[in-house]
Amino acid sequence: MILLLVADMNTIVIGGGQAGIALSYFLKQYHVEHLVLERDRAFSAWYNRWDSFRLNTANWMNVLPGMEGAFVPKKKWYDVATRNEALDVFEDYVKVVDPPLKEGVAVRQVVEGEGVWEVETEAETYRASNVVICTGYNFREFVPDVSDELPELVVQLHSSAYRNPEQITTANVLIVGSGSSGVQICENLAQSEKFGKVFFAVSNNAVIPWSVLGIPIGALVRSLPVFEIRRNSWLGRRIVQHWYRGDPAMAPSPRWLSENYGVELVGRVTDLGDGGIVCADGKIVPVNELTVIWCTGFRPDYGFVQAKHPAVVFDEMGPIHERGVSTGVSGLFFVGLKLQHTVGSHLLRGVGRDAEYVARKILEAARGQGRIVDRNFGR
């Protein structure tokens, strides 16, 4: 296949979710020529949520740059939005920002050249002084190796493929992982009263209640700026250590689901035995008439980035950076990383501030290189 080499561009943004579109908002404000490449459609990750999905963050926390008014105007400031309410907001937001966006364009690789980055897609190769990776920390589905050992009669799917209880045709279901996804999906399945048994393999995630002493948690968080804590502070480093062990989940707790819906709690899935799926607490989940939903999260994947000296660009935790600016190579940036600058960086509210910082750095680099940005771009 012959690839079309497109003319040089200042900045290529990879990913059209909240990070990429928020960054585009600021790049347009600064009149920096750029292009956003999205493999699916803008905010595609949110379209792939299950039908009963609800946000874990309060209405007041869901702010994106350039957005006017409340996230969902009809809701109270401490309430949470549903999937469809959020999608309506995101569709309107794309119209407001009007980014230079190409949807349905998957990036195959990003290669570091001599003072330039080459971004290769299936049909075209772009050259840019800067590349910003906005694929987020939820990029590649993660499923434990034990899934390969399960017999073919067991139906398996990742939480990203789950939509509603009607999708499950077996008599029993096992949800693996008790983070927010696992809790919400388990509750949805249990409420349907469609299954003979709902098993829930818990992983000891912390559970945050929706209210404390009658006060909504969204109101308490507003008065206690937990999400403003910087990751490099003493407290931030402590939070980082705990966070990487597993994201906290919003209520209900697994115990509450067991007491109110009859969900059978089991330990972490460890192996496959003669009697079925073996759990850490010694319990066995029979494999007959069983669907397993892996709510085991995602992992970052930066294998498509070909840097000359990868050891100074990435480590086992991901990008080596300072507030989203690569410290190992020039012209490489990130927005949407978990704990990128603060505890709340991965949230909608935090993404906007990180995007503004990275956009300013790109503007400074352009001026320093004598590359005047397009002052008419975005007008």
pLDDT of residue 1: 41
* Residue 126, both tokens: 């772009």
User: Are the C-beta atoms of 78 and 60 separated by less than 8 Å?
Assistant: yes
What is the rounded distance in angstroms from the CA atom of residue 31 to the CA atom of residue 7? 18
Contacts of 259 (CB under 8 A, 6+ apart): none
Complete DSSP assignment for 120-141 = EESSEEEEEEEEEE---S--EE
pLDDT of residue 206: 78
Instruction: Tell me if 243 sits within 8 A of 340, measured CB to CB.
Output: no
What is residue 65's three-state secondary structure?
Answer: coil
Q: Rounded to whole angstroms, how far apart are CA atoms 1 and 297?
A: 36
What contacts 262, CB < 8 A, 6 or more positions away?
Answer: 190, 198
Q: Which segments of 7-122 does DSSP mark as H helices, in order?
A: 18-29, 44-47, 83-97
Domains with residue ranges and CATH for the chain:
4-139+300-368 (3.50.50.60), 142-205+246-294 (3.50.50.60)
Q: What is this structure's pTM?
A: 0.90
Of 371, 360, 358, 282, nearest to 19 by C-alpha is 358
Residue 235: how many CB atoms within 10 A of its CB? 12
pLDDT in tens, the chain (379 residues): 444 555 578 999 999 999 999 999 999 999 999 999 999 999 999 999 999 999 999 999 999 999 988 999 999 988 999 999 999 999 999 999 999 999 999 999 999 999 899 999 998 999 999 999 999 765 789 999 999 999 999 999 999 999 999 999 999 999 999 999 999 999 999 999 999 999 999 987 777 777 777 777 777 777 777 777 787 887 767 766 666 556 777 889 999 999 999 999 999 999 999 889 999 999 999 999 999 999 998 888 899 999 999 999 999 888 999 999 999 999 999 999 988 998 888 889 899 999 999 999 999 988 866 554 554 444 3
Tell me phi and psi for residue 281, to 5 degrees.
-90, 10
